[in-house]
Amino acid sequence: MVRDGLYQGKRTQIDPFAFDDAVSDVFPDMIRRSIPGYQSLVDITGLIAAKRMRPGARCYDLGCSHGATTASILKAVGDHRCEIIAIDSSAPMIAAAAANLVDQRISFKHADIRDIDYVDASFIAANFTLQFLPPEDRLPLLKKVRKGLRHDGVFLVSEKVDDDGEFAELHLDFKRENGYSELEISQKRAALENVMRIDSQDMILARLHDAGFTDCRIWFRCLNWISILAAS
């Protein structure tokens, strides 16, 4: 795994964060050192998906990056027949996912998750992806996702939440503990401004409700990072 040192050097200008080659090259290290609970959440996402996926079931992985969630789902379903559609709008990310995961059951799509027609899905996962959409595009996407689920299907969505200062401060401690310097933390924060726009937990739950998800449960939380299982 290549260590993330992207924001180590002092920059005179901070460009908006993008999922480009440089980010993709260090991505597995970056996400593990940045999101508390990431590995457990991804591992359990697979177990949750496997419970919903009968043989032949279809699922979608929205913003698949290097394919960690898809890999977890495949591990949990074992040899069962299924179809996983793994989508990412970043060319280097989807190329890395396709190189990492060679399995006939996966279709990789280099596409925007807002442009996909979701059909007959037993499970749809969006692990830390919706927070990168413009806020006004989130409800229309959630409506499409809900319509694309089977009646017994479930949507799993994970996001950073805007919370009280204590968890946000502890999240910074988590990053420091994982070797990020104050300069790296502040430069990355500046790069993410206006790119990653987070909502409160209440706002996320209200939006899911507005999209028609009547049964929403928070199944995972680590500091200011949460994951919700949404069904209707």
Residues in contact with ligand GEK by CB under 6 A are: 19, 31, 42, 63-65, 68-69, 87-90, 93, 112-114, 127-129, 132-133
Laid out side by side, the sheet with 57-62 consists of 106-110, 82-88, 57-62, 121-127, 149-160, 225-231, 215-222
> Least distance to ligand GEK from the beta carbon of 151, Å?
26
Q: Give me the numbers of helices (H) and strands (E) for the chain, helices first please.
A: 8, 7
Q: Which is nearer to ligand GEK, 31 or 229 (CB)?
A: 31
Q: Which is nearer to ligand GEK, 64 or 142 (CB)?
A: 64
> Least distance to ligand GEK from the beta carbon of 80, Å?
21
Q: Which is nearer to ligand GEK, 81 or 115 (CB)?
A: 115
Tell me which DSSP letter residue 15 carries. P
> Least distance to ligand GEK from the beta carbon of 47, Å?
15
Residue nearest to ligand GEK according to CB distances in the complex: 63
Q: Which is nearer to ligand GEK, 136 or 152 (CB)?
A: 136
Burial class (CB in 10 A: 0-12, 13-18, 19+), 93: buried
Alpha-carbon distance of 54 to 82, in angstroms, equals: 8
Alpha-carbon distance of 196 to 178, in angstroms, equals: 21
Cβ neighbors of 210 (< 8 A, separation 6 or more) are 139, 142
SS3 157: strand
Q: Which is nearer to ligand GEK, 80 or 114 (CB)?
A: 114
> Least distance to ligand GEK from the beta carbon of 78, Å?
20
Alpha-carbon distance of 33 to 3, in angstroms, equals: 10
> Least distance to ligand GEK from the beta carbon of 40, Å?
12
Q: Which is nearer to ligand GEK, 56 or 124 (CB)?
A: 124
Token digits of residue 23:
């980010």
> Least distance to ligand GEK from the beta carbon of 72, Å?
8
